[in-house]
Structure 1
Amino acid sequence: MNKYEVRKFEQMLTSINLGGWMSADQVLHLVLHFVGAAGQAYGNAKYFREKYREASAQLFLDPNHDVQVVPFNRVAWHVGDGRGKYGITNQNAIGIELCQDTSTGSNVWEWDFHPRTRLEAILVFAYLMKKFNVPLSRVVRHYDASRKSCPGNWMKDDWKKWKLWKKDLELYVTTGKLVDSQRGIVYIDKPGLEDSKPSTPSTPSVKLTNREVAKQVYRGDWGNGQKRKDRLTKAGYNYTAVQVEVAKYKEELKAGTKEPVKLPQSIGVYIFNTKVWVRTEPHEGKASITEEGYMYDKDDTISLEKVFTQDGWVWGQYTSYSKKQRFIKIGADGGKQFATKL
């Protein structure tokens, strides 16, 4: 296998977070997403495979793996929030989620894609363009389907990084040249000739505080035991100091002592510190719980479109990727929080 051929799609197929059948000639669009979380391909695949989430995608890409969660001939729930307003729907689009490199910033909006993930996205999209006869003009962002801020880490400077990637994709499918113009890397200068400057894992461009690293450790980004210690030390962090912050962070989550929710500036991505029911209306009681009995678990994340107070609770509202309006409690008004804004 050529070093720069698309990787094998590892199968972790869901039986619950998917819709009906989708024939090859129904595929009109290929949609690029960012995961908006710290997890990598296997973690995200497991998240969408095992529990009902009202969301999914066909593929998840990270620096080392391409994992398939929904078959290409089945509908994934990834752009239903647009309700077809811009012509891109779950029924005519394949969704590809790119995992993020948490060493490149302090939150999901700053975490860029690892160079190898960005490269793999070019290879995968080129492969699917050919497989489903999708032109470059219909390789789009989630933003194009619903105006959601996705991929949110590429929004800065009028979507500069997205535009560079799209040009690199065009160059590859038209000439066979494979480059990363964002970083000035040339992988293949001419078809059949691999350049001697391939990407290597990046080191953190922004040195995070021990507190910020502790949150990553808590999520599992740095592994466990000796492996965690070795990785942190190699990256230039004081292992003991980070572990102290991890312990503090755990206690804060347990006690619910996070900063109070500030309204109305609180729309965005939240991480839960406990299990919370998803509801069809912003009301307490069993009647408002979704028919499927769907819950967000501890450490799950969600992107909220609206945050408001009602009946003593702080509620978050969002449109599920299966096109349904959903509500979820993120805390008591002036009291304990169930989720914290990232």
Structure 2
Amino acid sequence: MANWNGVPYKAQLVASSKWGTKCPYALNAKKITIHNTDNSATAQNEADYHNGNWNETSFHIAVDDVQAVQVIPFNRNAWASGDGGNGYGNRNTIHIEICKNYDRNRNTTNLLAGQQSQYVKAEANAVKIAAAIMVQEGIAAHPDNVKRHYDWNGKWCPSKILNEGRWNTVRALIVAETQRLSGKPVTPAPKPTAPKPVAPSTGLKRGTIAKWATHYQTGQKISPFVIGKAYNIIQTKNVSQSKSKKAYLMAGIMSWVLEQDLVESGINIAAKPSTPAPKPAVTDRWISKKGTAVITTPVGIKLRGTSSGDHANPINLGQLALLPKGSSVVYDKILVQKNGHVWVRQPRSGGYGWMPVSDTKNGVATGGYWVSGVSI
């Protein structure tokens, strides 16, 4: 295995037949973007899963405490920023995933001692790899060239680094390592060409993301951290979508927002949407639905049980088995927790088993499903 800036490295590139889905555009990288994977999988597992599916999500390289594995060429884009097909993050940056940051059994980034030591090493390796990429790709050693996923669409990522308030420190380490490798002082970053401002005739220069907004104009989900925040509007375009005739590109998140999802923010918005009816309080809910769930995550899923009937919090049940990728579970009911997991209930002799298939927040599945055959 090759060694890159002191880190074991290998290229395991996705098949060219999948480029149209995973990395359809040429890339001349101007910045890097740092992510956490929000699970305990290894870089190898992340690479295997990435290359084994046809999902329109991707990244360039995954790094853990053992190695770095590259899956997308650095001259092709990756879909990792959540800022749309023409988003700056998706089309102009190299995406680096730092692994092993999250304990799903305990639902936290506050890791136990053994897990923490692995993550510390993974993060240190990622700093070295990030710097090596910047030098190789000619990206100047400047803080503005090292971005968080959060900077593109408001997603709380890299979650462990942000939870611990260490982003400025990590970014400074990457810049310093880049400077050391290149033997050059910190260089001011070139500014990307700014989009043309909104024509003054629109009268629209700033807007606040409405509390009822759920998706950007491009289809990606709007992060809860964006809701209620005001942003300058730097570009407008005509659309015919839902109840909107226009969409606005918001500075700071570099995402297109429909006019129906903006509210007044010290400006005049001609067609202000009517206030929707209050939404009912979010609670745990049960769905009577039958099917077969097939595990797709490379790390497998723990099956818990047994219970004699419905169980409000199956995480408290004992572990029956660790089911590997490809295993199937026949279920007869689904539990959607307000904040926790989506669970499927498996009829068993003498009771029921329970398997988590996704994380939830405010009653909505987040981060994708770990199985096929389940939807809510």
**What is the TM-score of this pair, normalised by structure 2?**
0.48
Aligned length: 219
Give the alignment of 1:220-259 within 5 angstroms: 245-247=318-320, 254=329
Q: 1-side partners of 2:6 and 2:125: how far apart?
A: 9
- 1:162: Cα distance to partner? 2.0
Q: 2-side partners of 1:7 and 1:271: how far apart?
A: 37
- The structure that has the greater radius of gyration is 2
The DSSP-based 3-state class of the residue aligned with 1:90 is: helix
Structure 1 pair 34–101 and aligned structure 2 pair: CA distance change class (3 A): closer
Q: 1-side partners of 2:12 and 2:322: how far apart?
A: 35
- 1:248: Cα distance to partner? 6.8
Give the alignment of 1:1-342 within 5 angstroms: 5-14=6-15, 15-16=17-18, 17-23=21-27, 26-79=28-81, 81-83=82-84, 88-101=88-101, 106-111=106-111, 114-135=119-140, 136=142, 137-157=144-164, 160-175=165-180, 219=299, 245-247=318-320, 254=329, 260-262=335-337, 265-266=338-339, 307=363, 316=365, 330-331=375-376
Structure 1 pair 77–107 and aligned structure 2 pair: CA distance change class (3 A): same
Structure 1 pair 271–117 and aligned structure 2 pair: CA distance change class (3 A): farther
Give % identity: 21
- 1:249: Cα distance to partner? 7.8
- 1:138: Cα distance to partner? 1.3
The DSSP-based 3-state class of the residue aligned with 1:122 is: helix
- 1:329: Cα distance to partner? 5.8
Q: 2-side partners of 1:52 and 1:89: how far apart?
A: 21
Q: 2-side partners of 1:219 and 1:143: how far apart?
A: 26
- 1:166: Cα distance to partner? 1.5
CA contact (8 A) 1:22 1:92 kept: no
Greater relative CO (CA pairs within 8 A, separation 6+): 1
- AA partner of residue 126 (structure 1): A
- 1:33: Cα distance to partner? 0.7
- AA partner of residue 84 (structure 2): R
Q: Deviation digits for residues 68-123 of structure 1, max 9, x if unmatched?
A: 111112221111x22389x6332211111111156798235335662221111111
Structure 1 pair 36–48 and aligned structure 2 pair: CA distance change class (3 A): same
Q: 2-side partners of 1:318 and 1:102: how far apart?
A: 13
**What is the TM-score of this pair, normalised by structure 1?**
0.52
CA contact (8 A) 1:21 1:75 kept: yes
Structure 1 pair 248–132 and aligned structure 2 pair: CA distance change class (3 A): closer
The DSSP-based 3-state class of the residue aligned with 1:149 is: coil
Cα RMSD after superposing both structures: 4.2
- 1:11: Cα distance to partner? 1.5
Gaps of 5+ in 2: 182-297, 303-316, 346-354
Higher helix proportion, which one? 1
Gaps of 5+ in 1: 177-217, 223-243, 275-297, 309-315, 320-327, 332-342
